[in-house]
A and B are shown apart, each in its own frame.
Chain A
């Protein structure tokens, strides 16, 4: 790593033009494109309206539909095996995330949305770890679009539930002097967007960084040859960590969505 950096800093131009470029190598694997690289096949050219990450979204959605409509055994009175695992996650989302953050009645109503959010993000995250696929959640457009749903629920969900006055109440805490409200209300209002913005950046940055580390380690082998072979072992370790992070980030995104919505629905708490 140090050697690579040295070379970069010493003679970036000559090195980049003549030999392997680690930065470009990483970037190539991270950024969105219109090509899908499949093993033993020429790169698949995607249509202009569909990028690789967009394709990943569609594959993940189809996978989830297949998983929950065909694999999940809804008729079983006593769930077994895979159904049991999925059900455990669904119950966790309902009881620990939705009901605890939003409240009994609204929590139950929001559970389908939160379940979709969790499983969609989780699938996208985990797909990024499978070599053929790419990580759509490492794309800020995707995470931003998902965080936008959170924002929608925070604004329109609250207006729908509490009325416009109830929505205003979320920015005006009780018992605060009027002078301070002049500062507080814009901050609270801005917080709405900052919260969802943070949601977007957290997921995107986490997924991007993890994959960058993996590709940096694998890139060392291409850059330095067999000397850097031990870094493959490190990359495997990071990939295992990434599995955990995939679950964690999906959980955090879902939990924070629920918490933010809960805060808006019940402003006094």
Chain B
């Protein structure tokens, strides 16, 4: 900086202007050469690969997005199908359950009916048996009571066979029996 300041000597404003706006052919040529060389080198090693890579990436991106959309649609469709399946399965299971319930009800009704029939038969048999037994018992009772009466009568006869009054009584009794 001090060096720079020391270098400075008086200059007119015109000189200042001309030095800043000085046309300089070598400078122009140097700029052209630099720029052209830079353009060629960068085109070969930078812009061409970079722009190609960008295009490729954009293409990839576009395709990936389309693919993702497609997959999403497919997923939605699969979901819909699955839902459909679930609904159908539910319906079928409900049908099966209701059918099974109906069958069970029928079965139970049949069983009940049969049981009732059997019970009726048993009851009828029992009644019949009871009647028979009662009849049997009655016959036996009758026979036994006749025996008892005979026995009694025999004993009574043994004692009071003679009396007329007793005879009448026995007669009455027999009639009653």
Most buried by A among B1, B42, B53: B42
Indicate with 1 or 0, residue by residue over A67-95, a CB within 8 angstroms of chain B CB atoms: 01100101001000000000100110010
Bound state CA distance, A51 and B29, in angstroms? 12
Q: Is the CB of A25 within 8 A of B42?
A: no
Chain B residues lying within 8 Å of A49, measured Cβ to Cβ, are 26
- Report the minimum CB–CB distance from B54 to chain A (whole Å): 7
- Interface stretch, picked from A58-66, A177-185, A225-233, is A58-66
Indicate with 1 or 0, residue by residue over B11-47, a CB within 8 angstroms of chain A CB atoms: 1010010011111101111111011011101110111
A112-B42 contact in complex given A25-B5, A90-B54, C-beta closer than 8 Å = yes
Q: Is the CB of A68 within 8 A of B10?
A: no
Bound state CA distance, A72 and B8, in angstroms? 44
Bound state CA distance, A175 and B63, in angstroms? 46
- Report the minimum CB–CB distance from B128 to chain A (whole Å): 100
Chain A residues lying within 8 Å of B37, measured Cβ to Cβ, are 61
A54: interface (CB < 8 Å): yes
Residue of B nearest to A123 (CB): B38
Picked from B8, B31, B41, B53, the residue with its CB within 8 Å of the CB of A146 is: B31
Q: Is the CB of B46 within 8 A of A120?
A: no
Q: Is the CB of A69 within 8 A of B45?
A: yes
Q: Is the CB of A72 within 8 A of B46?
A: yes
Chain B residues lying within 8 Å of A16, measured Cβ to Cβ, are 10
Chain B residues lying within 8 Å of A139, measured Cβ to Cβ, are 24, 27
A contacts with B: majority SS = helix
Q: Is the CB of A142 within 8 A of B8?
A: no
Q: Is the CB of A25 within 8 A of B4?
A: yes
Q: Is the CB of A144 within 8 A of B28?
A: yes
Bound state CA distance, A22 and B113, in angstroms? 127
A126: interface (CB < 8 Å): no
B contacts with A: majority SS = helix
Residue of A nearest to B10 (CB): A16
Chain B residues lying within 8 Å of A77, measured Cβ to Cβ, are 57
Q: Is the CB of A68 within 8 A of B28?
A: no
Residue of B nearest to A26 (CB): B16
A145: interface (CB < 8 Å): yes
A57-B39 contact in complex given A141-B28, A208-B20, C-beta closer than 8 Å = no
A156: interface (CB < 8 Å): no
B96: interface (CB < 8 Å): no
Bound state CA distance, A142 and B35, in angstroms? 10
Interface size on B, residues (CB 8 A): 42
B163: interface (CB < 8 Å): no
Q: Is the CB of A24 within 8 A of B42?
A: no
Chain B residues lying within 8 Å of A259, measured Cβ to Cβ, are none
Q: Is the CB of A74 within 8 A of B49?
A: yes
A102: interface (CB < 8 Å): no
- Report the minimum CB–CB distance from A61 to chain B (whole Å): 4
Picked from A17, A68, A140, A208, the residue with its CB within 8 Å of the CB of B46 is: A68
Picked from A72, A112, A146, the residue with its CB within 8 Å of the CB of B43 is: A112
Bound state CA distance, A112 and B47, in angstroms? 6
Picked from B11, B24, B46, B50, the residue with its CB within 8 Å of the CB of A141 is: B24
19 A-B pairs besides A24-B11, A94-B54, A208-B20 with CB distance below 8 A are A13-B10, A28-B8, A32-B24, A37-B4, A50-B30, A68-B46, A68-B50, A69-B41, A74-B50, A74-B53, A112-B48, A115-B42, A116-B35, A116-B47, A120-B38, A141-B22, A141-B23, A145-B31, A146-B31
List, sorted by A's number, 19 A–B pairs whose CB atoms are closer than 8 Å. A13-B10, A17-B10, A20-B5, A21-B10, A27-B11, A30-B20, A31-B19, A32-B22, A32-B24, A54-B34, A57-B31, A65-B38, A65-B46, A68-B42, A115-B42, A116-B43, A140-B23, A141-B28, A145-B32
List the interface of chain A (C-beta within 8 A of B): 13, 16-17, 20-21, 23-25, 27-32, 37, 43, 49-51, 53-54, 57-58, 61, 64-65, 68-69, 72, 74, 77, 87, 90-91, 94, 108, 111-113, 115-116, 119-120, 139-142, 144-146, 148-149, 208, 222
